[in-house]
Amino acid sequence: MWFRSVFLKTLRDHRVAILGWGLGMGALAPIVFVGVTKVLLNSPDATNELLALTRNPALRVFAEPVDVFTPGGYATWRLSMVLPLVAIWALLIVSRTVRGEEEHGGLDTLLSVPRSRLRVAMEKLTAVAASLLLIGLLMSVLAFAGAMAIGLHLAVGRALLFGLNTSLFALVFGAIALVVSQFTSEARTAAGITGSLLGLSFVLTSASRVVPGGEWIGPLSPLHFFERNKPLVAGSEVHSGPMIVMAGLAGVLMALGVVLFTRRDIGAPVALPRLPRSERRRHELPLRAWSLKSVVARNVSTAARSALWWGVAVGSYTMMLTALLRQLQRNLDDLVGDLARSNPLYATLIASVTRGGNVTVNMALLNLVFTQLVVMVAAFAITTANRWASDEESGRLELVLALPKPRRRVMLAHFAATTLAVTILAASIFAGATIAAALVGMQLHTSRVAQAAIGMVPVGLVVAAAGYLFSSWLQTRAVTGTLIALVLASFLITLLARLFQWPDAVLQLSMFEHYGAPLVDGLRLPRVLGLFGVAGATLSAATVRFARKDISG
């Protein structure tokens, strides 16, 4: 049955992702429901910690706390930083669905059958939309079941809205990826550009909450419309307008993408005006290029290009978030100044937030940003592991292995380039934070910022090495999904373990826990060395496995 149409075949290909994302994201709501109920009822210390968290104004940069002392309100607050990540799967899968299949030649075979381009594109995109709706449905079912388990009243309609809201937001970025992929030659380029736009969406929404009079900034971001509805919060108003906006935006962008796809050459981007170049230069082969001198040079060239683009995007993201924190601090300065003028007893408070001069406060605020940035470094490592798995699956490694070079050298050369790329990305984060701090007058311990950036490198290498090992058994899509699950699980353990008082052994399973808070506590060298050790051991296992296996087998 599943092979009778392009729609059903595409939906079948997404079955693992539907279950993984639907059950994985959906399970978060019941976990938070049960956990926060237990905490609020039985643990005064954890309740005080929750109160301290909600009173931290810097958290408004990432999410707006609303009614957080109820299970639904706390779940909405905590998950508002996680649920939008379903958009990552949407933009990846849409990039691969059209542009990715063109790269590998699969679309040529599909279009050789008596089906029009329009029909093929529509069936594939409809399958993506159906997959996102099924993910949302699974999330809704699990949220409803979790509410029932603790006796929390959650209407069926609100539970369904919880999943639908997430699906529509993800669909918007899937549609953006479709349009972007019409102007690129590679799926990974389209995914990278769309991922940058997703990050920009977070920044714009944060700015609308922090910048005085910045409410107009919010509607420029799709995330603003996602956050307008909080269906898990009892008594909150349901707004149909934002959902209509997201659905309409996704529909318009998909229609534009399909029109562009049907009018361009297969395998080529949309033709844009170009500057004239001489025929000789256009057809000249780069025989003397430095990147073709060795396997290491070739991998470094490829990885460095990707790292530089990621570095520009993540460095800019770091600068914007740092500037937003300084703006938030200025707001607090103004509030403290007003209090001091009204009552001299408050004058001492000005000294604790002196116009960006309190380095301790600044480092604590910036640590919240770096907690998110280390996840981005892990995401970049996923793309490098994905490139290795894709090269093997598409047959590009066979040409390299035809040379008189040991397999282990080929893998180690690729990983060396990955290490350089992750280091470049960490350096861009350091540069973004320090430059922005200098521009906005925010005093920092530069050495601590450098330590925090260096500490991100082993985290990225652990993720990349795990991807190399997984690629020995799994296909590219499965490798990507497994690594995303690994990173999200580590992030959620760090996010929830202390509040819910999970055992320390569980907390140690998170790579982000070993990263710690170097901006506040300094770099914990033993744990960093431990991460390097894990990366080395995993890479060794991957190298042994690769040396003994059949290629693409």
Q: Enter the pTM of the model.
A: 0.83
Cβ-based neighbours of 468, under 8 Å, separated by 6 or more: 385, 388, 411, 414, 415, 538, 539, 542, 546
Would you list the DSSP string of 100-158? IHHHHTHHHHHHTSS--HHHHHHHHHHHHHHHHHHHHHHHHHHHHHHHHHTT----HHH
pLDDT at 236: 85
The one-letter code for the residue type at 319 is M
Q: Which helix (H) or strand (E) holds 238?
A: none
pLDDT at 27: 86
Q: Which residues of 108-139 are buried (b: 16+ CB within 10 A; e: fewer)?
A: eeeeeeeeebeebbbbbbebbbbbbbbbbbbb
Q: Is 45 helix (H, G, I), strand (E, B) or coil?
A: helix
Distance in angstroms (rounded) separating the CA atoms of residues 277 and 82: 47
CB 327, CB 210: distance < 8 Å: yes
Q: Is 473 helix (H, G, I), strand (E, B) or coil?
A: coil
In order along the chain (553 residues), what is the average pLDDT of each group of 10 residues? Answer: 80 89 87 75 62 63 76 82 87 86 77 82 93 95 88 88 94 95 87 88 86 84 92 87 95 94 85 59 56 69 82 88 78 49 43 53 82 89 86 73 75 89 93 90 88 94 93 83 87 76 82 88 88 94 86 61
pLDDT at 435: 93
